[in-house]
Amino acid sequence: MTNKHNPKTQLAALVREYGGFIQIPEDLKTVEICKLAVEIWDRNLQFVPESLKTVEMCQIALEKEWKNFKYIPEKFKTAELCKLAVENYGDALESVPENLKTAELCKTAVENYGSALEYVPENLKTAELCKIAVESRGGTSNALKYVPENLKTAELCKTAVKSHGDALRYVPESLKTAELCLIAVKKEYQNAIKYVPENLKTAKLCKIALKKNDDAIDYFPESLKTEELYYEKVIKNSDRYATDMLLWHAGFYRT
């Protein structure tokens, strides 16, 4: 006979009645039921009332996914746990208490995930740390976005663009050179050409951009949107009709 007081039985009954763990009223949730729910799906930790979260329950969630660090109560966040969190998931720095954010911890976080620089206190952002952030392979082009303006040097911006071409969007206009834009366009598949100043968009640069991304042509100066470039856009397309239609819509076959 099934024990109706068994946590599994209780959870199953509540889920059937309310449609899911998240819909279960808080006054019906117990530590046992919540622990079981977290064991079944670690993200359920976010739906556990703070008063019912235990160290054991949080450990279960973290063992499955370090992104759950954001749902850990502040009282359980020790220096050691925070270190483990950022070592495994750099962005966990966002949920680290300010008083536990040390220079060493922040360095560990940005080495793991460059964009974690966003959560580094301003007084801890050094030229060295920013360089580590923009070079990080685990991050994104956004790392440069969180570098203080006074630390955005030509050298740092070049480093950032070499790692992520799309970082060109966060380079100060005064530091955007023909060389830097060429590096970005050659590197990036996400239309870095859109962040190139109009006066630096040459026919040569646009051709390179078009080879990287078909949609790059949308960001070309009107004077460079030629029939030749439109043909290049569909060069891999063997359908002559599709090619002709593209050219027609671009205005080359209109009278």
**Rg (Cα) of the chain, in Å, rounded?**
26
How far is Cα 25 from Cα 215, in angstroms, rounded to an integer? Answer: 49
How far is Cα 7 from Cα 13, in angstroms, rounded to an integer? Answer: 10
Confidence of residue 255 (pLDDT cuts 50, 70, 90): very low
Distance from the Cα of residue 65 to its chain's centroid: 17
Structure tokens at 199: 């006066």
- Convert the pLDDT of each residue in 41-75 to its tens digit: 999 999 999 999 999 999 999 999 999 999 999 99
For position 225, what pLDDT does the model report?
81
196: number of CA atoms within 13 Å, CB side? 32
pTM of the model: 0.80
Structure tokens at 107: 């360095």
Q: Once rounded to an integer, what is the mean pLDDT over residues 93-111?
A: 97
How far is Cα 41 from Cα 224, in angstroms, rounded to an integer? Answer: 54
For position 252, what pLDDT does the model report?
60
Terminal CA-CA length for the chain: 84
For position 3, what pLDDT does the model report?
52
53: left (phi over 0), alpha (psi -120 to 50) or beta: beta
- Convert the pLDDT of each residue in 28-48 to its tens digit: 999 999 999 999 999 999 999
DSSP secondary structure of the chain:
---TTSHHHHHHHHHHHHSSGGGS-GGG--HHHHHHHHHH-GGGGGGS-GGG--HHHHHHHHHH-GGGGGGS-GGG--HHHHHHHHHH-GGGGGGS-GGG--HHHHHHHHHH-GGGGGGS-GGG--HHHHHHHHH-TTS-GGGGGGS-GGG--HHHHHHHHHH-GGGGGGS-GGG--HHHHHHHHHH-SS-GGGGS-GGG--HHHHHHHHHH-GGGGGGS-GGG--HHHHHHHTTT---HHHHHHHHHHHTTT--
